[in-house]
Amino acid sequence: MKIRDSGMPEKEMWENFFNPQAALRIMGLDKDVSNAVEFGCGYGTFTIPAAKMISGKLFAFDIEPEMIEMTKYEAVKIGVMNLKVGLRDFMADGTGLPSESVDYAMLFNILHLENPVSLLREANRILVEGGKAGIIHWNYDLSTPRGPSMDIRPKPEDCIKWAKSAGFSSPARCDLKPYH
């Protein structure tokens, strides 16, 4: 099932909210990351630059056929070859990836879902020992130009608490200006 409040504005508007390359660098994506996974690729805003930054393969999933097509289109347009995009409901079916098979899990603008710990558990299952999960979310601040309603918007401390319950350790927090 599609997670609550996960509709997107127009691509151009969405992509104005981020500097994806800078955000990904801050979030620890680089050539030392071999394989990675993205939960909910949307327009491919982070997918395409992430695929270019890592040394292995990026598996990106989304429940919306339109998002899958747009991400694939962008990848073909600029010749990104290490991206495998899959139409999938990862809440119902998980990722289908083997345990301990990726180095990095991208959970970007998605953790306002009903059961964040179950998604984080799936991320933890597929990560290798010492792997990392990156969580990005809208600031917990009414003045952001978009973002889930405040009653379901996670605070950074919520994300850290949920990640710990899903088996993660060593949380680090950063500020992705201006809104995340």
Residue type, 140: Y
> Does 64 help bind ligand SAM (rule: CB under 6 A)?
yes
User: Nearer to ligand SAM by C-beta: 55 or 115?
Assistant: 115
- In the complex, minimum distance from the CB of residue 6 to ligand SAM, in angstroms, rounded to a whole number: 4
Q: 19-38: b or e for each residue (b if 16 or more CB lie within 10 Å)? A: ebeebbeebebeeebebbbb
Task: Choose, by CB under 6 A, the member of 27, 29, 67, 97 that binds ligand SAM.
Answer: 67
| Part in contact with ligand SAM (CB under 6 A); list of ranges 24-32, 38-46, 74-82, 123-131 | 38-46
> Does 162 help bind ligand SAM (rule: CB under 6 A)?
no
User: Nearer to ligand SAM by C-beta: 47 or 124?
Assistant: 47
Instruction: Give the interface with ligand SAM as residue ranges (CB under 6 A).
Output: 1-3, 6, 8, 40-42, 45-46, 61-64, 67, 88-91, 108-110
